[in-house]
């Protein structure tokens, strides 16, 4: 069969079809909810990405945004025969028209029966947040530390910020009143294990218990040491959820399944990023991205014979999750929870009537 173009430089090949057939066809459930995907029309970009910014972090070279029609086509290609939906959002950068992007996902997602999160400006007044949440299809927000201020050289100028610098208490009050979904990408170089993050996540859970709080990327725990530091201290909170987007490490999945359980993990891709072809390797607290495309970050190339076997990062992530489920004894019910039922439950909670009048002054 011919290659099928996915998005950016990514394509779907016979090796991907074979990998799906061998490892995933009989395991991936019939229904999927991708709880972490970036979708927005590129027309809403307002700043040209500088070469310095593009080279500042590997993600910056592969996260060319896809519109809703492209995302839907990619879903159908990489998940053959599956019924799918998503909880998605635009690109969290002040180099984009955030309000326009939020209107776009609200319209396009409602048309498809998907659910969207609004990108959240920390500077918004509570009434502005309430207005964003009133758009059809919007069930919550996606805050991000890069939305504190724009930097043309690096996305991580505000990496060491407090969570409350980009998700302030006046917003949390509105979100709690709305029972809204919040997908939180934790800041700080120490990732979820950082003591400040641990303290602030617990504070959010204590003070705003009606929020459906989902920590992105298993708290950015891509290696076992980070997972031990970040996930284990929060394993005692049954109301705290995690999406597993962009996690490819089977040891991390196994640890998460043992200590969080399948009831608290949501499937997610972080696409378009995981449409990249390649694999990860790990060395202690470091993870190394390998790909066959000549991106500037791809400095640790593997032999051509190995690169020729690469499939999509997304399929590698699914295979790692499958292996961890089998290792930890997670059966069909648990797998179906991860892929759809947990997200469906949180969507339903986020769509219930507010429990109290929100503060919007």
pTM: 0.95
Cα atoms in the Cβ-side hemisphere of radius 13 Å centred on 26: 4
Q: Is residue 228 part of a domain?
A: yes
Tell me, what's the pLDDT at 60? 82
pLDDT tens track for 146-157: 999 998 888 889
Asked whether the predicted pLDDT for residue 278 surpasses 90, the reply is yes
Q: Give the mean pLDDT of the chain.
A: 95
Q: In Å, how far are 12, 57, 118, 259, 293 from 298, measured between CA atoms?
A: 20, 11, 33, 34, 8
Tell me, what's the pLDDT at 49? 83
243 upstream amide cis, omega within 30 of 0: no
Tell me, what's the pLDDT at 356? 46
Asked whether the predicted pLDDT for residue 361 surpasses 80, the reply is no
CATH of the domain at 91: 3.20.20.140
User: What domain range is 311 assigned to?
Assistant: 4-350
Tell me, what's the pLDDT at 24? 98
Q: Is residue 98 part of a domain?
A: yes
Q: Is residue 224 part of a domain?
A: yes
Which contiguous run of DSSP H or E holds residue 89?
A: strand 83-89
Residue whose token pair is 């429990």: 355
pLDDT tens track for 71-117: 999 999 999 999 999 999 999 999 999 999 999 999 999 999 999 99
**Token couple for 154:** 């690096």
Q: How many distinct structural domains can be found in the chain? A: 1
Average pLDDT over residues 270-288: 95
Q: Is residue 278 part of a domain?
A: yes
Pure H helices in the chain? 14-19, 51-54, 68-78, 98-112, 126-133, 163-166, 169-178, 195-207, 217-220, 224-230, 250-259, 304-307, 313-328, 332-336, 342-350
Q: Is residue 358 part of a domain?
A: no
Q: In Å, how far are 251, 291, 342, 357 from 330, measured between CA atoms?
A: 15, 31, 15, 41
Q: Is residue 132 part of a domain?
A: yes
Q: Is residue 199 part of a domain?
A: yes
Longest dimension (CA), the chain: 62
Asked whether the predicted pLDDT for residue 323 surpasses 50, the reply is yes
Average pLDDT over residues 5-20: 96
**Contact 220/193 with Cβ under 8 angstroms?**
no
Q: Is residue 17 part of a domain?
A: yes
| Torsion of the alpha carbons at 169, 174, 175 and 178, rounded to the nearest 10 | 160
pLDDT tens track for 148-186: 999 888 888 999 999 999 999 999 999 999 999 999 999
Give 38's pLDDT tier (boundaries 50, 70, 90): very high
Sign of the torsion formed by the C-alpha atoms of 231, 235, 239 and 245: positive
pLDDT tens track for 220-260: 999 999 999 999 999 999 999 999 999 999 999 999 999 99
Tell me, what's the pLDDT at 249? 98
3-state helix, strand, coil in the chain (%, to 5): 45, 15, 40
Nearest to 347 by CA among 175, 83, 107, 139: 139
């Amino acid at each position: 069969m011919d290659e099928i173009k996915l998005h950016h430089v990514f394509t779907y090949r016979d090796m991907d079809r074979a990998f799906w057939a061998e490892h995933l066809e009989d395991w991936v459930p019939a229904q999927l909810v991708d709880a972490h995907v970036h979708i927005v029309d590129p027309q809403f970009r307002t700043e040209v990405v500088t070469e310095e910014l593009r080279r500042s972090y590997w993600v910056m070279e592969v996260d060319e945004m896809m519109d809703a029609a492209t995302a839907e086509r990619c879903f159908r290609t990489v998940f053959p025969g599956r019924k799918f939906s998503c909880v998605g959002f635009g690109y969290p950068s002040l180099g984009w028209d955030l309000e326009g992007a939020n209107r776009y996902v609200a319209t396009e997602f409602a048309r498809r029966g998907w659910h969207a999160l609004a990108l959240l400006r920390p500077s918004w007044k509570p009434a502005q947040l309430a207005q964003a949440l009133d758009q059809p299809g919007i069930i919550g927000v996606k805050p991000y530390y890069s939305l504190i201020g724009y930097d043309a050289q690096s996305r991580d100028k505000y990496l060491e910020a407090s969570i409350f610098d980009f998700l302030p208490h006046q917003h949390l009050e509105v979100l709690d009143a709305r029972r809204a979904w919040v997908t939180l990408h934790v800041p700080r170089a120490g990732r979820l294990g950082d003591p400040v993050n641990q303290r602030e996540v617990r504070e959010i859970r204590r003070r705003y218990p009606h929020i459906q709080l989902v920590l992105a990327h298993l708290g950015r725990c891509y290696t076992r040491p980070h997972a031990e530091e970040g996930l284990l201290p929060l394993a005692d909170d049954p109301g705290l959820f995690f999406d597993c987007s962009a996690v490819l490490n089977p040891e991390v999945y196994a640890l998460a399944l043992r200590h969080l359980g399948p009831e608290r993990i949501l499937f997610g891709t972080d696409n378009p990023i995981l449409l990249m072809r390649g694999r990860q390797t790990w060395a202690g607290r470091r993870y190394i991205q390998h790909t066959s495309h000549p991106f500037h970050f791809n400095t640790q190339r593997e032999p051509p014979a190995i690169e020729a076997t690469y499939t999509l990062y997304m399929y590698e992530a699914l295979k790692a999750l499958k292996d961890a489920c089998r290792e930890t004894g997670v059966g069909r019910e648990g797998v179906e929870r991860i892929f759809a039922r947990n997200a469906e439950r949180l969507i339903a909670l986020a769509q219930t009537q507010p429990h109290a009048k929100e503060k919007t002054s």
